[in-house]
Chains A and B, each alone.
Chain A
């Protein structure tokens, strides 16, 4: 079984700070990590490899330093890693990104037939959840998003049965491989990387593909040029016109402060008091 896992290197958003005056991202010192959602996809791929044998190939599009993210995945147990890196990819939106990644998956499948492509549910920096479906459509793969469990894999007949998170329940879907799965978070726990794997990963020669090596046929479909969406403005939030009514426990006792807030709220919103009285358990 040959599985391709697509990942993205992202800034650790928990540590991103925005400059309060210029509204620009302060990137200095923010560590780059493997998109946390992608790790659920990788762990699921590794479990399938444990069960059925085969190979897990990592795929990432990004700047040269994204190599580190791929090496991290090698340390967890992935077999091979390809970094698609070229200045021509810069400025890609999700449509252009899916075009480039789909071309690279096609290229990888020329080396060895691919059975499943995995992606995370979404990335923590873009939060779009659009690249997985995009790759699937471009490659004509069956698409299974928000998969919470892989119930059954029938290798002989190239069939797979999964549970997919839907609104209000779980769909049980059976489809044919090759397929693309976007894995839901919290569905498994990433294994521990043993020291020998970490040493192996540090020395692993990640393959770096330019746009030519990745098999890009139409350069008008990659990077900024291939992106239909245009970012017209980036800005910080605007404060509400009226400032909050502020009280401090420095100036009055907590009891007086809370009493005051409650009275103000209920005076301004009498129906709220009625609602609370109807529901409250005292």
Chain B
């Protein structure tokens, strides 16, 4: 009998505990998915009742679902446009969480050297103006590499993507022609090349196609063991992407951070700065009607910006500079 009572009490307790669980759903960018899933899992260990469920459906999808109200928070690699914010109809806060770099990846048979690219060369390749690997422009920055007389195959994203946004944002800054003909968006009209879906799609295309060049997030290049080149930054240095050189780009931007954090840090000036770097943002509602969930979300973001940052480097992400974190913690106080 005693056993039965104990069992009943335990069962009751388990039921009430389950009832107190708060589930929060979010969706968005694919790029930060690994670190977000790490964060939400760690946060759940600290706060067993907070179940934050994040699904990577792409930056565009995240913005759309947040606007439709089907998820509580979103995430994106390219900041929302003013029109998108107006269309959503409620106030949304952009909060940078970590940084990533986009790298030019290539596959040239018998060339193992790390190639160096200027922004202009990359823009011309993606505009279809440079079509051979032994073009004078590529040779000029790689005098010691024996470049073959091989056609260049351009690989780009076929889906709407934050990675494309960062890539185009950078190329538009260094090449007026690129800005005019292609422009900056998550999905653009590519003048040349073949499309792959997702970072993994582009990585696969480049791996399989001799003579190809594409762009992927740094972590995909490292994990797939594809060669990636260094890129000339605003002060003329050729810099290879790493968590450190990407973080440096953010430190430069921190000094003139706009209030809403919607800032592009590609081609940032400064030494040892990797030029194709970007924040990735969480999209948080500023005054949602559900205050319980909002409070948990707020607490989570605080944790992610401080304690959580230590998980970034091991997963291939660049942590936020302290100045940016300080600004964000201030902004977070406006969330109700």
Partners in one complex: no
List residues of B whose CB falls within 8 A of some A CB: none
List residues of A whose CB falls within 8 A of some B CB: none
